[in-house]
Structure 1
Amino acid sequence: MNISTENFTTPAASTNSTTDISLLNSLEMCMFGICFLSGLPTHSYIIWLIVTGTGSGVASEFFFLNLSVCEIGNCINAVFGLLSYFSSLFNILTNFVQGLCITGRPLFQCLMCVERYLAVVHPVTFLKFKPLRYRVICCTIAWIITLGSCLFCIFILVSVNRDAFVWFFSTMFLLYFSIQLFCLVAVLRALKQSGPGERRREREDENRMKRRAFFLILITTVTMSIQNVPFTITGLYVILTKQDVDDYWLPAFICYVLTGFLQPFLYLQRTGKLFRLCSS
């Protein structure tokens, strides 16, 4: 759920540990603290709800379950980000877990969007691949890709190649955003179409399902845009201007952390557990 602003600059710069904490560094540390203190209990609670069957069941919420596991890894990365201010020994762990931020979260969000797209546009195919084993296969592949991204982040740290790193996460964003945008447009087109021989009640139920899928994909796409577009723009700006300043990354980092709370908020609201969690 977090991406250190220092880790998105030159890896050589991120290895320089200092105890001189500036105002912007203090703000970043506060974001790390918010990410860990709010994200860890929230996603742990969501995982418990899914596993115990409080929601729609493990099978239907399997992608969200893996997304919450990935977000817990991001919360742990927030702790590493805090500790890296005081010891450079944590920089390697921070860069490794950073692959969860770049690839893990957007990849599982894409899987959720593709699932909704199939349910609305290709319902026969969706029913064919609805069993849990197909979701397990997809998530296994997603975790392998995420692990590869983590290893690549370590490789970038060793090779000290900032430009390659910036182009890497920019390409990841464009790829995942294109997939989500395609699902969004396809579901929107399906909403405008209705079967000629359908009954009015059946048509209303189908349109209600399509609208729900559309708004879910829309919210996920907007969330992903807010959390990744600032990083992409900042990265391209740094490459073109050759000005590598840590302060440039802070607004993008704040956007990434804050948008991470939207998905769990919507899930808790949908399951009716939001107000119970707030009262607790």
Structure 2
Amino acid sequence: MMAIVELCRFFNSSQQPLNISSGEKTLYSSCADIPAVLIFYLVMQFINMFLGIPTNIMVLWLIRKNKGNSSTSDIFIGHLAMLDTFFCLVPPLELANIFYLTTSSSTWYVLRFFYGIKDSSPLFLSCICLDRYMAVLHPITFTKLKDRHHRSVCAGITWFITLVYAAAKCVGNIPNFEKVFTVMILATFAFMLFCNISILWALRQSAPGRDETHPTKKKAFKTVLIILTIIVFNYFPPVALFPFQEYFSPDVFHCYIHYIAFGFMDISSSIQPVLYLSREKLPKTLCFCSKNTECDDDAVYTINQ
């Protein structure tokens, strides 16, 4: 990682003008008019550190322990837990940078790399949502694709995109680069909504000849509804605010909107593993079939987050 950071510093310094101002301020002093927003953001980050690190490590331990009986989505959940554990190490460095160091400090390269890692977490969430969507809506195709080799390839591609994006964000002066995040968060948010709403609609339907939904389906419906609510809670603020960045003044956006939106998004590093652990005691898989097919043991829907 340090090699990437040094590379970021090289590219950034090579593109800096020679007449850089020496009177730079700390982030806190530049946003002194609304300190409550920075305090809110830091509280969210330290919740991530104290709650997110142990819960994500526990998720990784459980996935490894249950490796022989794990769900198809566990490979993506495991990679997401690794990403979140990595991001949860940030708060002490971020605290020092906000209050004591100027925005030209070399540690901001490290922070921007961490931010880039977290920005890409919806990509792994989208993989999880797609896996569950296929299990519920297309169980026959899902059964044929149950081999996890392609999931490992998908996870590898996602990590490659994540690291390239994080390295580009680390450079910090690519023109209009913030629009990449806006497009990514809008696309992944819409995709996750589509997958989860489709799953809810399928689970809501009763079986042929029955007037009521099976109790197991009702339990899965509630679980998916909770997952959908958390996705909206974590990712709707940046989705709703970032496309309209040009309508805010630079000071308001960077000192207020930016930290409110990312405060809600970043807390997902704690909420997601807690949800997974809370569902660990429930049955790991549920099988749902289309109306005209018999239930296949391989066509399963994972209810763990």
Instruction: Give TM-score, length-normalised by structure 1.
Output: 0.75
Report the alpha carbon displacement of residue 30 of structure 1 after superposing the two structures with TM. Answer: 3.0
The residue number in structure 1 matching 2:45 is 32
Aligned length: 249
Equivalent position of 1:71 in the other structure: 84
Which residue number in structure 1 is paired with residue 181 of structure 2?
169
CA distance in 1, matches of 2:68, 2:97: 38
Deviation at 1:145, TM superposition (A): 1.4
Match for residue 131 of structure 2? Answer: 115
SS at match of 2:26: coil
- Tell me how far apart the structure 2 counterparts of residues 54 and 137 of structure 1 sit (CA, whole Å): 18
2:196 is aligned to 184
| Root-mean-square deviation over aligned CA pairs | 3.1
Corresponding letter in the other structure for 2:89: I
Distance change (3 Å), C-alpha of 1:125 and 1:58: closer
Q: Taking structure 1 as reference, are residues 189 and 46 closer, same or farther at Cα in structure 2, changes over 3 Å only? A: closer
Pick closer, same or farther for the CA change 1:234–1:179 going to 2, 3 Å. Answer: closer
The verdict on how the C-alpha distance between 1:58 and 1:76 changes in structure 2, with shifts beyond 3 A counting, is farther
Unaligned runs of at least 5 residues, structure 1: 1-11, 274-280
Partner residue of 1:277? Answer: none
CA contact (8 A) 2:189 2:235 kept: no
Going from structure 1 to structure 2, the CA distance change for 1:75 and 1:26 (only over 3 Å counts) comes to same
Instruction: Provide the TM-score with structure 2 as the length reference.
Output: 0.70
State the alpha-carbon separation in 2 of the partners of residues 106 and 71 from structure 1: 11
Listed as ranges, the gaps of 5+ residues in structure 2 are 1-19, 283-305
CA 1:188–1:225: 2 relative to 1, 3 Å = closer
1:152 aligns with 2:165: no
Tell me if 1:225 matches 2:232: yes
Correspondences of 1:245-256 after superposition (within 5 Å): 245=252, 246-256=255-265
Work out the CA distance in 1 between the residues paired with 2:28 and 2:182. 31
Distance 2:248 2:50 in 1: 36
Name the CA distance, whole Å, in 1 between partners of 2:278 and 2:153: 29
Distance in 2 (CA, whole Å) between partners of 1:78 and 1:270 is 28
Determine whether 1:96 maps to 2:113. yes
2:216 matched to which residue of 1? 208
- Return the alpha-carbon distance in structure 1 between the equivalents of residues 148 and 264 of structure 2: 34
Cα distance between partner residues in 2 of 1:114 and 1:34: 29
Name the one with the larger helix percent.
Answer: 1
- Report the residue type matching 1:222 in the other structure: T
Cross-structure match for 2:155: 139
The aligned residue for residue 257 of structure 1 is 266
1:188-210 CA-to-partner distances (Å, cap 9, x unmatched) read: 342355664x8x7xx976x8358
What is the alpha-carbon distance in structure 1 between the residues aligned to residue 267 and residue 49 of structure 2?
Answer: 12
Amino acid at match of 2:248: T
Which residue in 1 is equivalent to 2:17?
A: none
1:18 to partner: Cα distance: 5.8
Is the Cα–Cα contact under 8 Å of residues 110 and 179 in structure 1 kept in the other structure?
yes
Amino acid at match of 1:67: L
Equivalent AA in structure 2 for residue 186 of structure 1: S
